[in-house]
């Protein structure tokens, strides 16, 4: 059968997107290269944690409008929502890695037809949508040489970045404004018409390069603001000032809105996207680079504080509260809390106990190095308690149970 949409990548972006289209009446094929992910979704279950996503996926699958598979099949629209991580090159340890985007793009060469719309949702460096067109033409020239030239000229390419926050994905998918940036005006308009299926926010038309840069700019702006707060926290530590009280007072100014400091910056957006701008213009992006360096250095500052605090104990037991990159999600990608715990364990600073209420087992990088346990058990056993993530469970914790413990609160919630 021909599907309305084929969504490549069924992770934190692809699965909600595929499911919401399916519940709005579209016939959707979701594609992922991991067999257990495909099997899980076809049972109407989910492999990631997100409020109400299980209900949406179950409804989409049981309606017959969503099916998962390992390979793409013919569709009117192809949506690429795969990871765009880093890779190390001889000149840049944080270079964009577009291997997943390229692989997904080439995988549709055998099934695309004239008039198809191909959308890149993955946050990507400027020019990636054009690269997709080139990769697809190259692959078509290999597998369908007789049709390559006519097909590539009859395909529509657009970049439509998501703007959703883990923990609020389903609400923000529908409510947030979107950008449809095509390689041609016709592609922008076709993408806009598609997202109107569920999006009640405004959809703005632009070109692909502007759309790509807009998503990077949004996250780089946040990163710069967080870097200011994190640098301020280092200065306040040296001067003996409560940084959270300081920010609260400074924010009383009608034109000041300082963000909150933390142990670093994580997630697959803010911790990654600014580097794509730096990679594109390394000689000009000085402020963006510096902000990234400030935020990337904050975990090491926390590690040194924990080491100093632990020196007063002969065999310190350290409870690290939180592994996720932000509150109340299970997403560990680029998490500064993960980096902190991993380094403390590797340096054998003490016995490390971890509390992360949103996972049931430790990630591979920490197995055999630390112990995962409950909040009450961890705090009871600990000499040093390090709050790394402001999960609701930690905010509600009875602070009297911290009496006699050395406490390092990187989120300012136990002040």
We find that the CATH architecture of domain 219-409 is: 3-Layer(aba) Sandwich (3.40)
Per the CB < 8 A criterion, the answer to whether 373 and 356 are in contact is no
Q: Which residues of 212-222 are buried (b: 16+ CB within 10 A; e: fewer)?
A: bbbbbebbbeb
Structure tokens at 88: 């190390």
Domain residue spans in the chain?
A: 3-201, 219-409
Per residue of the chain (415 residues), what is the pLDDT tens digit?
789 999 999 999 999 999 999 999 999 999 999 999 999 999 999 998 888 999 999 999 999 999 999 999 999 999 999 999 988 888 888 899 999 999 999 999 999 999 999 999 999 999 999 999 999 999 999 999 999 999 998 999 999 998 888 788 899 999 999 999 999 999 999 999 999 999 999 999 999 999 999 999 999 999 999 999 999 999 999 999 999 999 999 999 999 999 999 999 998 889 999 999 999 999 999 999 999 999 999 999 999 999 999 999 999 999 999 999 999 998 898 999 999 999 999 999 999 999 999 999 999 999 999 999 999 999 999 999 999 999 999 999 999 999 999 999 999 998 8
Count of CA atoms in the C-beta half-sphere (13 A) of 371: 15
CA distances from 397 to 321, 328, 375 (A): 11, 15, 9
* DSSP annotation of 69: E
DSSP codes of every residue in 367-391: TTTSEE--HHHHHHH-SEEEE-S--
Say which CATH class 3-201 falls into: alpha beta
CA distances from 357 to 103, 192, 220, 267 (A): 35, 39, 30, 18
Structure tokens at 403: 């009496």
CA distances from 70 to 2, 16, 73, 107, 109 (A): 16, 18, 10, 11, 15
For the annotated catalytic residues, the residue numbers are: 215, 269
> How open is the CA angle 237-264-213, to the nearest 5 degrees?
130
């Amino acid at each position: 059968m021909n599907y309305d949409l084929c969504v490549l990548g069924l992770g934190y972006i692809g699965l909600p997107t595929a499911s919401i289209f399916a519940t709005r009446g579209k016939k959707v094929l979701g594609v992922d290269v991991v067999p257990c992910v495909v099997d899980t979704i076809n049972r109407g279950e989910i492999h990631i944690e997100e409020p109400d996503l299980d209900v949406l996926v179950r409804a989409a699958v049981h309606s017959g409008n969503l099916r998962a598979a390992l390979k793409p099949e013919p569709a009117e629209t192809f949506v690429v929502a795969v990871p765009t991580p880093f890779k190390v090159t001889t000149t840049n340890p944080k270079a964009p890695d577009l291997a997943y985007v390229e692989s997904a793009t080439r995988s549709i060469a055998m099934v695309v037809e004239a008039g198809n719309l191909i959308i890149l949702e993955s946050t990507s460096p400027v020019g990636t949508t054009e690269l997709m067109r080139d990769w697809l033409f190259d692959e078509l020239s290999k597998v369908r040489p007789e049709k390559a030239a006519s097909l590539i000229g009859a395909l529509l390419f657009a970049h439509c970045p998501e703007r959703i926050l883990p923990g609020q994905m389903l609400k923000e998918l529908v409510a947030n404004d979107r950008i449809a940036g095509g390689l041609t005006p016709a592609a922008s308009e076709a993408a806009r018409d598609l997202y109107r299926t569920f999006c009640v926010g405004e959809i703005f038309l632009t070109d692909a390069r502007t759309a790509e840069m807009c998503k990077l700019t949004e996250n780089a702006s946040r990163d710069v603001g967080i870097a200011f707060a994190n640098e301020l926290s280092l200065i306040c530590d040296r001067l003996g000032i409560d940084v959270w009280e300081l920010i609260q007072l400074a924010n009383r100014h009608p034109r000041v809105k300082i963000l909150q400091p933390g142990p670093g910056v994580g997630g697959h957006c803010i911790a990654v996207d600014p580097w794509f701008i730096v990679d594109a213009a390394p000689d000009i992006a000085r402020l963006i680079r510096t902000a990234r360096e400030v935020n990337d250095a904050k975990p090491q500052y926390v590690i040194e504080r924990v080491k100093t605090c632990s020196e007063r104990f002969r065999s310190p037991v350290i409870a690290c509260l939180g592994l996720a990159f932000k509150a109340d999600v299970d997403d560990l990608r680029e998490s500064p809390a993960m980096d902190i715990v991993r380094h403390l364990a590797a340096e054998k600073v003490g016995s490390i106990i971890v509390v992360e209420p949103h996972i049931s087992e430790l990630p591979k990088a920490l197995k055999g190095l630390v112990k995962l346990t409950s909040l009450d058990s961890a705090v009871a056993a600990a000499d040093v308690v390090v709050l790394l993530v402001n999960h609701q469970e930690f905010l509600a914790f009875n602070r009297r149970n911290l009496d006699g413990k050395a406490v390092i609160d990187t989120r300012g919630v136990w002040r």
